[in-house]
Chain A
Amino acid sequence: MSESNVNAVESDVLIIGGGLAGCMAAIKAAEGQGLKVTLVDKSNTVASGCAASGIDHVWSYIPPIHEKMGYSMDDMAEDHRQGTAFGFFRKDLFYLAAGSMYDRMLDLERFGIKFRYDDSPIPGRFRIVEQFHSVPTSFNFDGAPLKPTLTKQARKRGVTIINRVQMTDLLTRSGQVCGAVGVGTRNAEIYFFKAKAIVLSSGRSNRLSRNLTGFDFNTRMPSPMTGDGTSMAIRAGLPVVNIEFLSNILGLGPCGNYNPNYGDPRNTVQPAARIIDGQGNVIVPRTQFYDWDNLGKKKWTADMRRQWLEDRKAWRGGRAGLVQRAAAGEGPFYLDFSEATDAEIEYIEWSIKNEGKGAQFLRYFKGEEQADLRKNRQEYVGSWPREISGTAAKGLWVDKDLETDIQNLFAAGDEVGGLPWQASTGAFTQGWHAGEMAAKRAEKQKAFAAVDDEKVKICKNMCAEILGSRRGFHWREVETGIQNLMDFYCGNIRSEGLLKRGLERLQDAKTAPLKAENPHELGRCLDVKSIVDNAELVLRSSLERKESRPIPFGFRRADYPEQDDKNWKVFLAIQKAGDGPFKHTKLPTDG
């Protein structure tokens, strides 16, 4: 094999995916004694992953606040288990996330992220709002500069960052990870990584369905994320759980075509947003800020959880409920800010500016449209695309220290399954922990394991074939075909007959020859290969789960319309050993 376009990179710790989790892992791993840490990203770590353009919330157990409330971490765990995870819950992952996020917030603050505000009535001058638990647990903060800030911190610690490389395979030997293979999406060069320990943090898969706007890259979460980690992990024989829960947020989105990720009145737009119908009837009321002046005077009680669970049940059905109301002829519906005060509008705009595509949405809404949040109520339109996401707790099955079944291979963030809505909290805390664990392993191991370069050759040949092909399909043809197939056979309603037919038809997409005219298109072809793998797992696990679970996962089987907790309140794992058949295992929840 010619070595002319193979870049060999040796690292003690290799991190695959430079989103929040990957950056945190790199920063922590680089604290190890003289370790060489490499962070690979398919985009550029300054603007990649779900926090590419910012986040506005992160949930945490906040000792100085929650202790005053008489609210313990056990209480919070119980809130999360019942009201957010609906039983699909791993206690160990929860305690790692909730129990270490406050420390990570302090780290982020040291790095320059702003969490404290002089106008705040809250001890510590934080801004804290209700989101996933019966008391306010989410820091509301200036998260827009997270990625440039974390990238700077990683570089400062000597981390080597390699951008624009898409990973295709993990290399293992005797049950231990020893390297990985990737392809440069700007140069089509092959990257052959040797490593003593690896953290996999490539995130979600977001391009599995058509987008109603006609812009298939206008996904809710970043379109470059195509489940490459899941694809690599399955080929390495690892189990992936919950992948059948293709979406948890079926419903309508406010001002939906821009797809800003601010959701509903309990999210970025709190406290003053509410949902109303065309006649002005309130369907989901506004929230109120917590009464911080009385913090500590009234202690938390289990009754507060009961009330919260009831409210939550009502609004959890709120957005999905809009679809049913619309079907019954009750639409249109609007997100309405008409009764907000000036101070509330200012607060909400600050929040939106920090969250996801919010800054761009405001440029559009206030700039291009000359519109105003208070005057111009936004309609809930369009269906949100289906996505494989960590919010539904899809991901790799890991042990309490985030190690997979392959020794020295750790996972973090959206790559980890088992804790719905862990979101950025999962990314910050698991990234840090996985980085620490990977560094410890790398420190123990003196030499690099011998690596078989067979997969490097396979990758090189595959790329040469795609780049040299004259008669293959353009990546977008195959991608659109897969999306159409997923929407038809694996959409809102699934059944054995349709899922089986979907799997049969997916074979055509799997074997379709692809062609690329340049490295960029080669990268997209590799995206499509990941999308095919992810689609197959979704179809297979959907077929295996013989129940419906509409709340919170939007999973509906026409042939098994009832929720069956006795048999199916389990994490459903799918895995494959070598060229053997796929197998499913039911893994217990702590729910």
Chain B
Amino acid sequence: MAFKHIYFNEDICDGCGKCVEVCMCDAFERNPQKGKAPILKYPDECWFCGCCITHCPHKDEGAIHIITPFPMRGSFKR
């Protein structure tokens, strides 16, 4: 299933590569351009643990965010 769910805020991410380093599924690749946000190369190999965000030094500024793919959205009563 084609989808993309992890987004970088290019203004905040400094391409430090921490998420590339920690991702258990090795879903990211470093950007060949130094200082640029990583590339989400294998989105469909994500476990959705959120460690890319948890370990991000700029998480509080919103360097990375996940938009949960539609079929994974929870079912709950509004």
Residues of A within 8 A of B (CB): 43-44, 46-48, 52-53, 144, 148, 164, 185-186, 213-219, 222-224, 255-259, 334, 356-357, 359-360, 363-365, 368-369, 371, 376-379, 381, 520, 523-524
Q: Does the CB pair B49–A257 fall under 8 Å?
A: no
Look across to chain A and name the residue whose beta carbon is closest to the beta carbon of B52: A47
Q: Is B44 an interface residue (CB 8 A)?
A: yes
Segment touching A, from B8-16, B17-25, B31-39: B17-25
Look across to chain A and name the residue whose beta carbon is closest to the beta carbon of B25: A224
A215–B48 alpha-carbon span in the complex (Å):
10
A381–B66 alpha-carbon span in the complex (Å):
22
Q: Does the CB pair B24–A48 fall under 8 Å?
A: yes
Closest chain-A Cβ to B57's Cβ sits at a distance in Å of 13
Q: Does the CB pair A52–B49 fall under 8 Å?
A: yes
Look across to chain A and name the residue whose beta carbon is closest to the beta carbon of B21: A44
Query: Among A334, A378, A523, which residue has its beta carbon within 8 angstroms of that of B26?
Result: A523
Q: Does the CB pair B24–A44 fall under 8 Å?
A: yes
Contact with A along B54-66 (1 / 0, CB 8 A): 1100000000001
Look across to chain B and name the residue whose beta carbon is closest to the beta carbon of A334: B77
Q: Does the CB pair A255–B48 fall under 8 Å?
A: no
Query: Among B22, B25, B55, B68, which residue has its beta carbon within 8 angstroms of that of A217?
Result: B25
Number of B positions contacting A (CB below 8 A): 32
Closest chain-B Cβ to A462's Cβ sits at a distance in Å of 20
Given contacts A46-B55, A52-B24, A214-B1, contact A371 B49 (CB under 8 A): no
Contacts of B50 in A (CB 8 A): 53, 357, 359-360, 363
Contacts of A334 in B (CB 8 A): 76-77
What are the 3 A-B residue pairs with the smallest beta carbon separation, nearest first? Answer: A360-B50, A255-B74, A379-B75
A377–B75 alpha-carbon span in the complex (Å):
9
Query: Among A224, A363, A365, which residue has its beta carbon within 8 angstroms of that of B47?
Result: A224
Look across to chain B and name the residue whose beta carbon is closest to the beta carbon of A519: B26
Closest chain-A Cβ to B50's Cβ sits at a distance in Å of 3
Q: Does the CB pair A47–B22 fall under 8 Å?
A: yes
Given contacts A219-B47, A523-B26, contact A213 B71 (CB under 8 A): yes
A186–B21 alpha-carbon span in the complex (Å):
11
Contacts of A377 in B (CB 8 A): 76-77
